[in-house]
Amino acid sequence: MSGFKKFLLRGNVIDLAVAVVIGAAFGAVIAAFVKDLLTPLIAALIGKPDFSQLTFTVNNSKFLYGDFINALIAFILVAAAVYYFVVLPLNAWMDRYQSQPPAPAPTRKCPECLSDIPLEARRCAFCTSQLAVA
């Protein structure tokens, strides 16, 4: 039982649970936005009062493609919101605070073997020739 308790109290499990709850709430807000505000606005431009009423019938089977259009608009809005409000800011933050690799130490060429050696070296590590300090 203690292992299960540790599993439940780990940070990533709690974070995932919070993300699912927030995501469900956000999805409901976007669905309401599409159904109550955006769909009537777009439908007013094309002359239909509501996309959910758009249907066609084949062999007495009713296809509600208007509901699909509503769901597609909701998906696009959720994807755009996640991209512009989560992904882009996180990428910008990561780029800003990501540590840069240290600059390579300044080097010079060994006059005997032409290997790169540190500026302060007095002897070449490759050919062991004596060097004057730069």
The domain spans of the chain are 2-97, 103-134
Which of 23-27, 64-68, 74-78, 120-124 has the weakest average pLDDT?
74-78
pLDDT per residue as tens digits for the range 19-42: 888 888 888 888 788 778 877 777
Give the confidence band of 90 by pLDDT, cuts at 50, 70, 90: confident
Amino acid symbol at 102:
P
> What interhelical angle do 2-9 and 11-33 show, nearest 10?
50
Looking only at the bridges linking them, the beta strands covering 116-118 and 107-109 are antiparallel
Residue matched to tokens 């009713």:
62
Q: Please provide the CATH number assigned to the domain covering 2-97.
A: 1.10.1200.120
Return the pLDDT at 50: 66
Output the six-digit token pair for 93.
């933050």
